[in-house]
Amino acid sequence: MALTNNAISFSSVGQTFLTGSGSVTALDGVTVTIAQHEFVAVLGPSGCGKSTLLRLTAGLMKPSKGTVSVFGKEVTMPRDDVGIVFQKPTLLPWANVEDNVVFPVRHKYGRVTTKDREQARTIIETVGLKGFEKRLPSELSGGMQQRVGIARALFLNPDILLMDEPFSALDALTRDAMGFELLRLWQASPKTVLFITHSIPEAALLADRILVLSERPGRIIADLQVPTARPRDESALRTPEMQDFSAELRSLLIRKEAA
């Protein structure tokens, strides 16, 4: 395989779904490249194709037009080096935390080794759930359940982490805390992150770069570097340059909602 520091690339990607009453074009003419270890947030109006972008990257479907590649290779099916975290963690309700985390291995190989369990316990500790390994999902708060979903996605040590509004179901304080925790994990073990959100502050605080999509069919209407250096804390959002940046993002989104 050719060496590349492009983790993800979309070349003229379009996605049209057939529906009972016709067809829906979710994405059109999307061309973008994301470098290895870049943290990219995607903002856009509801229904503009953000999740579709992520599902194409994950290999959960193939584009109707164009090509999606991961590390220089066309995506045709899910890969072990790409992990996904959804808005709801979709945990197995009858399985404890540790069994949920090792699930990808059990699903793929039909067995779980002692080494897998050790690895799972290390990751569970990394996401702050040490001591909860044997608890069932129903015994955990929403934030803790989402941590289990993140641990499960990290379990195979993916190079790419796809996150679809991962914190949007959480209360505001937990959401902020989880964002900072994600940054800590990302800094400790760099990964390419594609992070979908509806929140401008969340995108501006977490990402290196922000892609803004238009109304459906989603096209990239802005591709902007976040103007503030890391490390960042909440006060980073209050600087004049970040306030201007947030206002720019808002006007791009409002323009599209009004169009």
Ligand X SMILES: Nc1ncnc2c1ncn2[C@@H]1O[C@H](COP(=O)(O)OP(=O)(O)OP(=O)(O)O)[C@@H](O)[C@H]1O
Residue numbers at the binding site for ligand X (CB under 6 A): 17, 19, 24, 26, 44, 46-52, 216
Least distance to ligand X from the beta carbon of 105, Å?
Answer: 28
Contacts 24+ apart (CB under 8 A), 114-121: 119/155, 120/151, 120/155
* CA neighbor of 155 nearest in space, from 210, 206, 207, 97: 97
Smallest gap, in angstroms, from Cβ of residue 15 to ligand X? 8
For ligand X, give the closer residue by CB, 7 or 212.
212
Q: Find the shortest distance in angstroms from Cβ 61 to ligand X.
A: 8
Q: How far is the CB of 5 from ligand X (least distance, A)?
A: 27
Output 50 or 152, the one with its CB closest to ligand X: 50
* Cis previous bond, 231, omega within 30: yes
Q: Is 12 helix (H, G, I), strand (E, B) or coil?
A: strand
Query: What minimum distance in Å lies between the beta carbon of 45 and ligand X?
Result: 7
Choice between 117 and 198, CB closer to ligand X = 198
Least distance in Å: CB of 46 to ligand X?
4
DSSP secondary-structure letter at 94? T
Looking only at the bridges linking them, the beta strands covering 82-85 and 39-43 are: unpaired
CA separation (Å) from 42 to 60, 103, 194, 199?
Answer: 19, 28, 7, 10
User: 43 or 120: whose CB is closer to ligand X?
Assistant: 43
SS3 for 157? coil
Residue 150 CB neighbour total at 10 angstroms: 26
What is the rounded CA–CA span in Å between residue 169 and residue 47?
18
Choose between 49 and 158: whose C-beta lies nearer to ligand X: 49
Which residue lies nearer to ligand X by CB, 9 or 51? 51
Q: Residue 134, Cα to own-chain centre: how many angstroms?
A: 27
Alpha-carbon distance of 28 to 182, in angstroms, equals 31
